[in-house]
Structure 1
Amino acid sequence: MKSYDAIFIGAGQSGPFLAARMSEKGMNVALIERKYLGGTCVNAGCMPTKTLVASARAAHVARRGGDYGVKITGNIEIDMMIVRQRAETVTMNARNGLISWLANMETMDVIYGQARFTGPKTVIVNGKMLSAPQIFLNVGARPVIPDFPGIEDIDYLTSTSIIHLDTLPRHLAVIGGSYIGLEFAQMYRRFGAEVTIIERGPRLASREDEDISDAIAQVLGAEGIAVHTQADRIAFVKNGDAVAVSTGAGKPAVEASHVLIATGRRPNTDDLGLDAAGVLTDKRGYITVDDRLMTNVEGIFALGDCNGRGAFTHTSYNDFEIAAANLIDGGDRKVSSRIPAYALYIDPPLGRVGMTEKEARASGKKIMVSSRPMSRVGRANERGETMGFMKIVAEAETKRILGAAILGIEGDEAIHGIIDAMNAGTTYPALQWSVPIHPTVSELIPTVLGDLKAI
């Protein structure tokens, strides 16, 4: 039995940074990872996918060159081998950077292997027993594969495997109309594939307000992406080199060369031996944590995607910040203080913070709402990218901003003005009288705020 001050299982976007902080304090820590340092973000998520998005946008802009007076003769050709290699280079640079950084930690042991609990303070990895008074779980999540009829007969792709494609699909069927599926759909359409999105629900991006969902559908439809919603009976039939995807009774099947299953993710908690430690999970497998990220077992914490309190790199990293503040710096930070914010990286992107209009209405608060089309934004017109709109929701009595959405050019960056204001507790009249820089996307925010109306 080897004893440590802390053991970390999983090396995503929380564990390594907290382990490093503890190591810098002279604590002996073990960081256990069964595959790659960096977790989903570095290896199969943000970094490789946004690199692919950048390649796809380059192709899109090249095709539109004539609109800007830039004449490109000949066809725009995509070399998928180079596209894939570029994404892999970004991943490997980040992963190797983590390896080098952690290797210099004098009081940290990095161990590669599968760890399982044998008790509330002990784990086994590679046949060796380790113990610590504090154990941190940062094991992430993986794609969900529903039991669709015929799925066992086809070779399907997931968000993890599709990033390694070095050939262009003839026709990509994307099963799932949420964030991951939408990003890959537009990306591969811009690479030149025919793309069809098949969604079981009534609309795309169902967590968003209906007007946002409709605008997203318009963006994708304008690029020639077919969308089938209310696909209540999805099934697959192998047909030579193709796959026939049925979407419901009386509906024509979609003939696809490749199928991407993008129907959600599930936490990697089913092989940790949580029962041996007495750690509780919810019905979906997410580890139950309190406001300071501790499980029901004293000394065991869950960080990142596996705790169900956020599914993004930035929320995982914020879990590290919360744990570090409370355990090392003598702070008192809480998960419940975090204002949710995220982006959807289609082009133009969606930046979102706080409540949707639907959530604000359901809260019982007296609310105010305002929106403006992106065609009112100078930068959008100058760039020739005017699709989308801005929307802000505020509370009438307190004048606090409750939430906002910016679907449009640079929406993922412009939304930070709202994020900062909400975190600072700034009322909308104060933000309304700021003087933004022209010409920017953010300069429309005071105009939108000035037109807030009670509903």
Structure 2
Amino acid sequence: MARYDLAVIGSGQGGVPLAVDAASQGRSVVLFERGAFGGTCVNVGCTPSKAFLASAHSAGRARRTAEIGVHCEVRVDAPAVLQRVRRIVGVWREGVEEKLARSAVHVVRAEASFDAPHVLRAGDDTYEADVVVIDTGTSAAIPDLPGLAGTPYLTNANFFLQDALPKHLIVLGSGYIGLELGQGAARLGSDVTVVTPDDRLVAREELDTCSVLTRALARDGISVLLERRAVAVAHDDGRFEVTLDDKTVLSGDGLLIAIGRRPTIPAGTVERAGIALDARGFVQCDEHLQTSVPNHYALGDVAGQPQFTHVSWEDFRRLRSIIVGDRSRTRSDRVLGYAMYTEPQVGRVGMTRDDAQKAGIPCRDVTYQLADVARGIEWNLEDGFFRLVVHAQTDAILGATFVGYEAGELIHVILAHMEAGSTWRTIERSVHIHPTFAEGIPSLARLLL
């Protein structure tokens, strides 16, 4: 049995830098990967979806130029779009593999399972490690629908392996994956129908955020069926028929399942390693990302963290310190933001007003419409708004929601102020360049005066 200081299960955006960094410090490290290097982000998440959306949103913007007097003929080569996506994924994946090859990490290309708390098995070989880190991520949750099993349905894992896009794509789910890929497919030529059991799109977001997105999707020709559930699926001769709970039957040649994510838990995690899972099935971790078993940790998605690449990367930075005894770092000592790459985009950081009120925090919130920002009017990009939530007594910034063009970039202004401990009065005093979208941010804060 080979023995190591550190074993990492999975080659995601937290596990790889952790393994490489530990090996560079002279520790013996083994990393297990059963599939492609790079984890969800590189292979089936951020990298392919944003490359795909680069083409889709270019097509969508070109069509809208008629509104400002520029008439374009948009011809989409969907096979070329998908080939480009796969080429970019290949380059990034090779980069991860080369990074590991240049390091002193012992890479095992096999699925790892637990034989005991500190003993891992891959094939016929066993490996013992003083410290074990689980970085196995999540996969698409698949509903138990009659008729679905065995059909060629799509998830984020195989969507980009298509040679062409469906003529009519049915999307089950209205979260980030469903809306990004659904809108992307629509802008590249597919008829798209989105089905959700919720009373609005992206139910975790505020109502007016969902309203802006609903109008934008309608402009792209997307049909949205709210408060509807699929109850059965049939597939024959290349076509899906999806029966809904109101007896409606949808027909299309593509079906995308995007109802949520489930954790990927290595075999033996609970039974043989004794590591506890939480009520949702994710690895249960404390503030230092340690599991219920000493010297066992988890990071990123599988640890029940917000499912974003930057969170996994920041988990690595914390674990790097925690593993060597510096427990000053915790999973909570950071300001987290995120974005959804529909068009318009959604950028979020911190709390909403509802979040603050549920936490018993006295708060104020203000909203500034992009239709009142000069750049929004000039560029015909008036969809959306800026919203700021602040503490009613201390003036501290509690959070913000931005909806609109490049909201995912603009939200970093608020994130940086929150990290620095600024109050809204610092933003109000700031002089931003005219004419920019960011010019609206001080205007937003001035509504609090």
CA contact (8 A) 1:410 1:441 kept: no
Corresponding residue for residue 286 of structure 1: 282
Q: Any residues of structure 2 matched to 1:144-155 within 5 Å, and which?
A: 144-152=141-149, 154-155=151-152
CA contact (8 A) 1:291 1:336 kept: yes
Corresponding residue for residue 89 of structure 1: 87
Q: Distance in 2 between matches of 1:120 and 1:67?
A: 63
CA contact (8 A) 2:115 2:268 kept: no
Check if 1:48 corresponds to 2:48. yes
Q: Which runs of 5+ in 1 are unaligned?
A: none
CA contact (8 A) 1:80 1:165 kept: no
Residue among 342, 359, 364 paired with 1:363: 359
Q: Secondary structure at the match of 2:32?
A: strand
Q: Secondary structure at the match of 2:115?
A: strand
Q: Secondary structure at the match of 2:30?
A: strand
Deviation string for 1:39-94 (max 9, x for gaps)? 0000000000000000101212332343444444xx52221221111111111111
Q: Secondary structure at the match of 1:315?
A: helix
Q: Distance in 1 between matches of 2:308 and 2:126?
A: 32
**After the TM superposition, which parts of structure 1 deviate over 6 Å for at least 4 consecutive aligned residues?**
none
Residue identity matched to 1:199: T
Deviation string for 1:131-180 (max 9, x for gaps)? 11101110010000011232236321111111112212111110001111
Q: Secondary structure at the match of 1:274?
A: coil
Q: Distance in 1 between matches of 2:299 and 2:362?
A: 35
Q: Secondary structure at the match of 1:53?
A: helix
Q: Any residues of structure 2 matched to 1:278-427 within 5 Å, and which?
A: 278-328=274-324, 330=326, 332-427=328-423
Corresponding residue for residue 96 of structure 2: 98
TM-score by length of structure 2 reads 0.96
Q: Distance in 1 between matches of 2:268 and 2:358?
A: 38
Check if 1:129 corresponds to 2:130. no
Deviation string for 1:182-238 (max 9, x for gaps)? 101110110011111000111111111112112211111121111001114532233
Residue identity matched to 2:77: D
Residue among 201, 223, 233 paired with 1:236: 233
Superposition RMSD in Å = 1.7
Q: Distance in 1 between matches of 2:319 and 2:159?
A: 34
Q: Distance in 1 between matches of 2:444 and 2:74?
A: 39
Q: Distance in 2 between matches of 1:16 and 1:155?
A: 32
CA contact (8 A) 1:83 1:166 kept: no
CA contact (8 A) 1:153 1:237 kept: no
Check if 1:221 corresponds to 2:218. yes
CA contact (8 A) 1:11 1:138 kept: yes
User: Offset of 1:329 from its aligned partner?
Assistant: 8.2
Q: Secondary structure at the match of 2:393?
A: coil
Shift in CA distance, 272/184, structure 1 to aligned 2, threshold 3 Å: farther
Identity of aligned residues (%): 35
Shift in CA distance, 234/389, structure 1 to aligned 2, threshold 3 Å: farther
Q: Secondary structure at the match of 1:152?
A: coil
Q: Distance in 1 between matches of 2:53 and 2:338?
A: 17
Q: Distance in 2 between matches of 1:272 and 1:190?
A: 44
Q: Distance in 2 between matches of 1:442 and 1:329?
A: 42
User: Offset of 1:428 from its aligned partner?
Assistant: 0.8
Deviation string for 1:85-135 (max 9, x for gaps)? 111111111111111121111x31111001111111111112111111101
Check if 1:187 corresponds to 2:202. no
CA contact (8 A) 1:349 1:409 kept: yes
Residue identity matched to 1:141: T
CA contact (8 A) 1:270 1:285 kept: no
CA contact (8 A) 2:114 2:267 kept: no
CA contact (8 A) 1:153 1:238 kept: no
Corresponding residue for residue 59 of structure 1: 59
